[in-house]
Chains A and B, each alone.
Chain A
């Protein structure tokens, strides 16, 4: 047996002497370190996904069954009993797009915040870039969203919405959306590590953001009454992110200037969130 560790380039430097493990690394080196552990980042959420419904009779069917039932309830309540349209064509599909895509954002941010505390044991046992913890939470949420998206497509087709060329932009939309979610998740994770009270507050912030993002009703219901609310709604990238999906599937209007602003905002939040998280790298999992 040869004692040599190919996966660690630093062990090749051994002849040049000793090094310290706790020196902080550049962002580029940090990202490279995360990339090297990509299989680890992937295996965590997949493991969790596979074991999440193990104690149920239908098991993995629930990954699809849960969003299917959620959408079914909305269809019955809003589409059949109340016949709500709120001035929107195909309100049921419009609504479930809003609910599921907003759930991707709120789930990623809330899960990111709690992941730092719930994965403490893993962090105390293994040395790896801590950003992997919120990243693998994000991957888990994306996997759950894949099933929800399938349900959206099923309901869209069932209500006569056909595929269009806009659908080819799905990867781009997902990428922008994920940049925003991950950035928010990094920020929430760091804040929650410093003050555990944050975890109690985030759900309320997210619920407020939900009403300001046009998830359940069109935003023109709340704009035009108060200047401050108007500005908040206009700057809110989540509303615009949700609208990307509605534009893609239902062909709702898309404001080019607002969309461009959303792309910039999402990238800025990811950049800021990453740096904000990385600064406190050594503190995660210590307390």
Chain B
């Protein structure tokens, strides 16, 4: 068997949320209640291991904890309890990733790559190649706020794969791109997997998951409902919905 890339043990992630209606300050001080605080278990006891060369498709309904799991794998959220071990720092850039809206696409590429830890010398060498990969053409010199969802997705995907991560986390980024870009991004993912990388793909499209992934992980209410070969898990998921 190939080496482990990710090992997650009994992962719990809780969020403290404030409901809309908060009690007044006086009432809160007097009764210690009504702060509007509620604890939500976004990830509730998840354990799994992945190996190099595996592509894991994460499926589940909205709010099942998929994106939270990915953020935790990327080290952006601290687990409430449990442990995440990785072989290399995973890189995540979902469609919701925030860049500078007022700055041009190319400046956002520079900023994103620097934020992901690329050195500026390496960036200078590779920026043309990254721009080329986005396929955005002249739009690369337009401010990000003028971009469509699909154009943003291309930019995000180009940035997160530019740092050539060993573990790539993709959150719904591919479905929005057009046909040609999907082909390009698929080639990129395949080369990552061929080089013993690991892919986590969150998507609502079971087609896309089946096309790109070898293994399925079905998450519901923060728990794993199924984990196995992608066709089996997708079939089970499909039967339930």
Residues of A bordering B, CB below 8 Å: 1-8, 10-11, 14, 17-22, 36-37, 39-40, 43-44, 47-48, 51, 54, 121-128, 282-283, 285-287
Instruction: Indicate whether A124 sits within 8 Å of B114 (C-beta atoms), given known contacts A18-B7, A51-B103.
Output: no
A10's nearest neighbour on chain B, judged by CB, is B89
User: What distance in Å separates the Cβ of B153 from its nearest Cβ neighbour in chain A?
Assistant: 14
User: What distance in Å separates the Cβ of B127 from its nearest Cβ neighbour in chain A?
Assistant: 13
Given the complex, which residues of A lie within 8 Å of B85, measured CB to CB? Answer: 18-20
Instruction: Indicate whether A47 sits within 8 Å of B107 (C-beta atoms), given known contacts A11-B166, A22-B79.
Output: yes
A285's nearest neighbour on chain B, judged by CB, is B76
Contact of A5 among B76, B92, B96, B164 (CB under 8 A): B164
Task: Tell me if B87 counts as interface (CB < 8 A to partner A).
Answer: yes
Instruction: Indicate whether A5 sits within 8 Å of B98 (C-beta atoms), given known contacts A22-B79, A36-B117, A37-B114.
Output: no
Distance in angstroms between the alpha carbons of A47 and B108 in the assembled complex: 9
Provide the main secondary structure of the chain B interface: loop
B contact residues, range: 35 or more
A40 engages B75 (CB within 8 Å): no
Binds A, one of B175-183, B191-199, B227-235: B191-199
A22 engages B75 (CB within 8 Å): yes
Give the number of residue pairs across the A-B interface with Cβ within 8 Å.
122
Instruction: Indicate whether A4 sits within 8 Å of B164 (C-beta atoms), given known contacts A37-B114, A39-B119, A51-B102.
Output: yes
B71 engages A124 (CB within 8 Å): yes
Given the complex, which residues of B lie within 8 Å of A285, measured CB to CB? Answer: 76
Q: Could you give, for residues 15-31 of chain B, a 1 whenever the CB lies within 8 Å of some chain A CB and a 0 otherwise? A: 01000000000000000
Q: Could you give, for residues 77-103 of chain B, a 1 whenever the CB lies within 8 Å of some chain A CB and a 0 otherwise? A: 111000111111100111011111011
B76 engages A124 (CB within 8 Å): yes
Task: Tell me if B136 counts as interface (CB < 8 A to partner A).
Answer: no
- Pull 11 A–B residue pairs with CB atoms less than 8 Å apart, ordered by A: A3-B197, A8-B88, A14-B88, A21-B74, A21-B86, A36-B117, A47-B107, A51-B102, A125-B96, A127-B89, A286-B77
Contact of B195 among A2, A7, A40, A287 (CB under 8 A): A2
Contact of A126 among B83, B103, B115 (CB under 8 A): B115
Given the complex, which residues of A lie within 8 Å of B96, measured CB to CB? Answer: 125
B120 engages A39 (CB within 8 Å): yes
User: What distance in Å separates the Cβ of B117 from its nearest Cβ neighbour in chain A?
Assistant: 5
Distance in angstroms between the alpha carbons of A2 and B197 in the assembled complex: 10
B84 engages A39 (CB within 8 Å): no
Pairs of residues from A and B, 7 with the lowest C-beta to C-beta distance, nearest first = A121-B98, A21-B75, A18-B85, A3-B195, A125-B97, A40-B114, A126-B115
Distance in angstroms between the alpha carbons of A36 and B123 in the assembled complex: 14
